[in-house]
A = this chain, B = another copy of it.
Amino acid sequence: MTPALRPRTVEVCLGERSYPIYLGAGTLAAAGDAIARHTKASHAVVVSVAGVGRRYAGTLLRSLRQAGLRTTRIDVPDGDAAKTLRQAARLYERLLASHADRGSVVVALGGGAVGDLAGFAAATYLRGVAFVQVPTTILAMVDASIGGKVAVNLPRGKNLIGAFHQPRLVWIDVATLRSLPLRARAAGLAEVVKAAAIRDAGFFGDLERDAERLLALDDVALLPALERACAIKAEIVSRDEREEGLRMLLNFGHTLAHAVEFLMGYRKVLHGEAVSMGMAFAARRSEQLGCAPAGTAARLCALLERLGLPTELPDRPRSAYLAALKVDKKRRDTRIHYIVLRGIGRAEAVPLTAAEILPARAGGRVPGEVEV
């Protein structure tokens, strides 16, 4: 093992709810031991989706049994469309059928959607049981699995029902990324770029140096990049668990991303792609508002485009975007905490109305380049 591939640990510091994120390459078979040590559970329920489960659940379940736990495997439907109260209810029934009790741990094995659904079930079953994240997508590794946000969707909007339920640990094995399609890799890297853009100019430079190697899943570039992105998220969550201030910075690119997902339908655009569009828009808007120096948006867009990510919003009427912004749940009264860049590596929240985020232009369409 080269030094670059040594196992790494990032700590999320939340007092008695603190937990480690372990990162490594080819480490899945060691997860059971860590889960047993951190949870003291006697029973593990591995919640996964069919494809991921077929590839990795066997190794994980075996390692849990070797660590002395009774195991249950539950597969749930894949994708964001399965994050519903109805699926949560089915999961509860299967937890009951498996005799899951307060000595059980729910282990989410998969991407962000399965982590959100399994995490919501873990947060609410018997008023909360232990929870562990074993993310198998870049997006879930650097974002969804850290910070304790778990949720299901309502017909009228995403993530409207949920909880803050911190995992006991996050176990990242980059070898599980091998089966991830290129498009999903790129989308996941959008959140890595976000972490650098809002918090760490040096890291952003590293990403510019390594973009193609990251996309090719070169572990020597990927492991330190994921560690850095996890550390940024962990630091922000540690300082603001319940999203009362600093944590809002993680919404960089997300205000418009949610609107894009709402308008396009969640199946047509990947979350990371929508975030890429939203970040590019926000960076341009940051320059127009006089927050960021000229060239900030161009530099961000250049990196995103090297990763194969979109940087223009879909062409929809401005009125549609304005309506979509109004279902965003972060709204309190009429202003939105919109995240702007101060430059590469620095962000801040600015209270803006939807109309200020999306100023009108001739034709009433949302422009790639907004005139002010």
Which residues from chain A sit less than 8 Å from chain B, CB to CB? 42, 85, 88-89, 92-93, 96, 101-103, 123-128, 149, 151, 154, 156-157, 159-164, 329-333
Copies in the assembly, this chain: 2
Q: How many angstroms between the C-alpha atoms of A333 and B100 in the bound complex? A: 10
Q: How many angstroms between the C-alpha atoms of A151 and B157 in the bound complex? A: 23
B-side contacts of A125, CB under 8 Å: 160-161
B-side contacts of A164, CB under 8 Å: 127-128
Complex contact A103–B42 (CB within 8 A) = no
Which of B42, B124, B160, B332 contacts A333, CB < 8 Å? B42
B-side contacts of A331, CB under 8 Å: 101
Which of B85, B126, B149 contacts A89, CB < 8 Å? B85
Output the least CB separation between A128 and chain B (Å): 7
B-side contacts of A89, CB under 8 Å: 85, 154
Which of B92, B149, B154, B159 contacts A160, CB < 8 Å? B92
A-B contact pairs, 24 of them (CB 8 A): A42-B333, A85-B88, A89-B154, A92-B154, A92-B160, A96-B154, A96-B157, A96-B160, A101-B329, A101-B331, A101-B332, A101-B333, A102-B329, A102-B332, A103-B332, A124-B163, A125-B160, A126-B160, A126-B162, A127-B149, A127-B151, A127-B159, A127-B162, A127-B163
Which of B156, B161, B332 contacts A124, CB < 8 Å? B161
B-side contacts of A126, CB under 8 Å: 160, 162, 329
Q: How many angstroms between the C-alpha atoms of A42 and B124 in the bound complex? A: 28
B-side contacts of A96, CB under 8 Å: 154, 156-157, 160
Chain B residue, CB-CB nearest to A123: B163
B-side contacts of A123, CB under 8 Å: 163
Q: How many angstroms between the C-alpha atoms of A161 and B160 in the bound complex? A: 18
B-side contacts of A332, CB under 8 Å: 101-103
Q: How many angstroms between the C-alpha atoms of A164 and B159 in the bound complex? A: 20
Q: How many angstroms between the C-alpha atoms of A101 and B336 in the bound complex? A: 12
B-side contacts of A42, CB under 8 Å: 333
B-side contacts of A92, CB under 8 Å: 154, 160-161
Q: How many angstroms between the C-alpha atoms of A76 and B58 in the bound complex? A: 45
Chain B residue, CB-CB nearest to A125: B161
Q: A101-B329, A123-B163 are in contact. List 18 more A-B contacts (CB 8 A).
A: A42-B333, A85-B85, A85-B88, A85-B89, A89-B154, A92-B154, A92-B160, A93-B154, A93-B156, A96-B154, A96-B157, A96-B160, A125-B161, A126-B160, A126-B162, A126-B329, A127-B149, A128-B164
Chain B residue, CB-CB nearest to A120: B124
